[in-house]
Structure 1
Amino acid sequence: MEFIDLKAQYQRLREDIGGAMQRVLDHGQYIMGPEVAELEQRLAAWSGARHCVTAASGTEALLIAMMALGVRPGDEIVTTPFSFIATAEAIVLLGARPVFVDVERGSANIDPALIAARLSKRTRAIMPVSLYGQPADMDAINDLAQAHGLAVIEDAAQSFGASYRGRRSGNLSTIGCTSFFPSKPLGCYGDGGAAFTSDDELAQAMREIRVHGQSQRYRHTRIGVGGRMDTLQCAVVLAKLAVFDEELALRQRVAACYERLFAGRVATFAPAADRSSAYAQYTILPRRRAVVQAALQQAGIPSAVHYPVPIHRQPAYAGFDDADCPVAELLSQYVLSLPMGPYLSLADAEKVAATVLAADKSAGHHA
């Protein structure tokens, strides 16, 4: 059993992906070829945002977004400690300071009720993460940001395809950034990412920043980076986009199976009523993670821990913020991600759940 079965997806799309890549090889425009603009147009239309700006990775998209907003050394960005390291990494690379706010127990996303107390005159933006595929409470965050004159950057690396109150992740704030890392709900065959916005000036700034700050060839109006997404990777995503809606529905089907089997027995991060998840991961909170993970391994079932150590407790980030984030620290001791993907059979999902439940049946302290 695969943790995420990319091989099954490739076999289904083999001819389409091969044809898309061959067209790039034929025209030879490997950097900023026509597939880049086509993908941006289609992703913008899909998300509902006015603009999509592709980037070399999800991390690069975050970096470019903050540069477009004018984030500078000494600025503060409020974010969550319970995420992949790239969220804070992009902030620190610009010389800014991550200010960590604890998360909600039920979603593992940043707790909007705790943000105001962490704002200061140096705060430049709020960066919620839509963890495991479910958006944070974006309206509450946007309202707070508007009241304080702040931008909001949704780190939607795990949630492209999810929705919040009828709007799609990536189009929920000032800028939304996603990743096309191969294991994401919409992935390429290498690194890739994108930033979404409906602000024309920010979109233009991001387009210039990703090509070394050029407004036209050899005219550099901004400080920039080499942050372009390769044409070949855009071609791969274009081919996959054709079945993306169907794959999202299949992910929901697997998740619904898990939810039914775990209901009342093992805690999960089921989406709130006003939003959906893209289920980049399906994560549970077993009573005894080590026991459950060992049982899964013995049964030949892969699992993973996203994330075992919150960012504010990582050695490289210890000096940036003395945050008190007890919920994030508690969740990190319990979270366990199970096989998930559109090509996971319901029979396999049932096998996973049965193994989890058998190993976790004895009572004990729980998050």
Structure 2
Amino acid sequence: MISFMDLTREYEFLKLELNESLQETLSSGYYIMGPALKEFEKNFSRYIGTRYASGVNSGSDALFLALKSLGIGKNDEVITVAHTFISTADAIVLNGARPVWVDIEPDSYLIDPERVVEKITPHTRALLVVHLYGQPAEMDKLNEICQEHDLYLIEDASQAHGAEYKGSKVGSLGDVSCFSFYPTKNLGGYGDGGMVLTKHREVQEKIRNLRDYGQQKKNLHTKIGINSRLDEIQATILSLKLKYLDSWNKKRRKLARIYHDQLTPGVRTPQEKENRKHVYHLYVINAPQRDLIQRELFKNGIESRIHYPTPVHKQPAYLPWRDSYLPCTEQVPKGILSLPLYPWLKEEEVNRICEVIDHASM
């Protein structure tokens, strides 16, 4: 059996060091908003290259609070993509704003900068960019558009921990960025977690206020906030794992290269764009015979996934915003398939996966 993701292999590697760190945190008596969170916020903001960072309960909360901190709400529009995890769009709607869909590029599945300007209206407040599957979007062009039209640029970097655009880490390229630390991410905890990063002090102050019941100080509630705080246990785990992130991403890229080299020409492999460092949170192929390939993988004990089978604008919950025809977004899910790829996957397992796919593609 080759699992799509096997976190037990990671735990075996980290076990002794992790248990020691957790014991120290448990013995401290601080479990919420303590020194472990402060340390992780400092280390992660330094790693990404931003001035401020706030740990929150999840990547979904990070997106929600990022938009809320920018004052985005009723009658506002936020431009984004429909080929993404639904949390990207949920954050817009939950703030009372309207998602405006832009199609994706056919080779990268990332937001198409050439389609953004035509969707801007007097109600547009922000562009919410997704660095999908671990590859950065075209940030220079998108930044130019936002500056020209006075829009906020928000990065959904939930799948791109350590990815780089022209030598800079994603998450440092917009006004605000959001990360998820769901266990399967390149940097994942052992539960839910998220982070909001920014270079703007006033945004940081609003995030800190909103994540803690709207408290400016103890028992003084100046805003309607929520309870969204990254706990000490997760912060401890993430601080430990952060020091391995670059080496783990390097391993992901090495395994991706094996897939690149061995898969049949009939299967379209991910294309790493110029001046970008892809960290392969997901390794997504595209093939006309996708369903046959997935069945053959299953017969041979190999798990695979489809990310994402139904675009957000086609989901039943998004019927009120189903006002766009997105040809590439609607075509891509018919052929994509995510293959196993994580740092603990063995090279011989990747070789076996390629053999099965090549046999199914003949």
Counterpart of 1:123? 124
Is the Cα–Cα contact under 8 Å of residues 99 and 321 in structure 1 kept in the other structure?
no
Code of the residue aligned with 1:333 in structure 2: it is K
Counterpart of 2:169? 168
Comparing 219-228 with 153-162, greater Cα deviation is found at 219-228
- 1-structure distance, mates of 2:254, 2:75: 46
For the residue of structure 2 that corresponds to 1:98, the secondary structure is strand
For the residue of structure 2 that corresponds to 1:357, the secondary structure is helix
For the residue of structure 1 that corresponds to 2:306, the secondary structure is coil
Is the Cα–Cα contact under 8 Å of residues 259 and 270 in structure 1 kept in the other structure?
no
CA offsets, 1:130-150, max 9 Å, x none?
111111111111110110100
Counterpart of 1:333? 334
CA deviation after TM superposition for structure 1 residue 177, in Å? 0.5
Is the Cα–Cα contact under 8 Å of residues 156 and 169 in structure 1 kept in the other structure?
yes
- 2-structure distance, mates of 1:311, 1:227: 25
Counterpart of 1:304? 305
Gaps of 5+ in 1: 362-367
Counterpart of 2:68? 67
Is the Cα–Cα contact under 8 Å of residues 152 and 173 in structure 1 kept in the other structure?
yes
CA offsets, 1:302-352, max 9 Å, x none?
000001000000011021141111101100111100000011111111111
Counterpart of 1:323? 324
Residue 252 (1) aligns with residue 253 (2): yes
Runs of 4+ in 1 over 3 A off after TM superposition: none
- 1-structure distance, mates of 2:320, 2:150: 27
Counterpart of 1:86? 87
- 1-structure distance, mates of 2:106, 2:74: 32
- 2-structure distance, mates of 1:291, 1:263: 15
Counterpart of 1:266? 267
Counterpart of 1:342? 343
CA offsets, 1:212-267, max 9 Å, x none?
22121112222321111111111111111121111111111101111111373311
- 1-structure distance, mates of 2:97, 2:361: 43
Counterpart of 2:156? 155
Counterpart of 1:137? 138
CA deviation after TM superposition for structure 1 residue 269, in Å? 2.0
Is the Cα–Cα contact under 8 Å of residues 82 and 311 in structure 1 kept in the other structure?
yes
Counterpart of 2:102? 101
- 1-structure distance, mates of 2:222, 2:117: 35
- 1-structure distance, mates of 2:176, 2:19: 32
Counterpart of 1:181? 182
CA deviation after TM superposition for structure 1 residue 75, in Å? 1.0
Gaps of 5+ in 2: none
Code of the residue aligned with 1:257 in structure 2: it is I
Counterpart of 1:290? 291
Code of the residue aligned with 1:150 in structure 2: it is L
Counterpart of 1:364? none
Q: CA RMSD in A?
A: 1.1
Q: TM-score, normalised by structure 2?
A: 0.98
- 2-structure distance, mates of 1:245, 1:112: 29
CA offsets, 1:170-224, max 9 Å, x none?
1111111010000000000000011111111111111111112212111222232
- 2-structure distance, mates of 1:98, 1:284: 28
Is the Cα–Cα contact under 8 Å of residues 100 and 321 in structure 1 kept in the other structure?
no
Comparing 305-314 with 196-205, greater Cα deviation is found at 196-205
- 2-structure distance, mates of 1:321, 1:70: 25
- 2-structure distance, mates of 1:269, 1:121: 36
For the residue of structure 2 that corresponds to 1:84, the secondary structure is coil
Counterpart of 1:365? none
- 2-structure distance, mates of 1:146, 1:217: 38
Residue 232 (1) aligns with residue 207 (2): no
- 2-structure distance, mates of 1:297, 1:220: 53
Is the Cα–Cα contact under 8 Å of residues 50 and 172 in structure 2 kept in the other structure?
yes
For the residue of structure 2 that corresponds to 1:351, the secondary structure is helix
Aligned length: 361
Code of the residue aligned with 1:326 in structure 2: it is P
Q: TM-score, normalised by structure 1?
A: 0.96
For the residue of structure 2 that corresponds to 1:196, the secondary structure is strand
- 2-structure distance, mates of 1:236, 1:141: 34
- 1-structure distance, mates of 2:284, 2:131: 14
Is the Cα–Cα contact under 8 Å of residues 212 and 225 in structure 1 kept in the other structure?
yes
- 2-structure distance, mates of 1:66, 1:35: 26
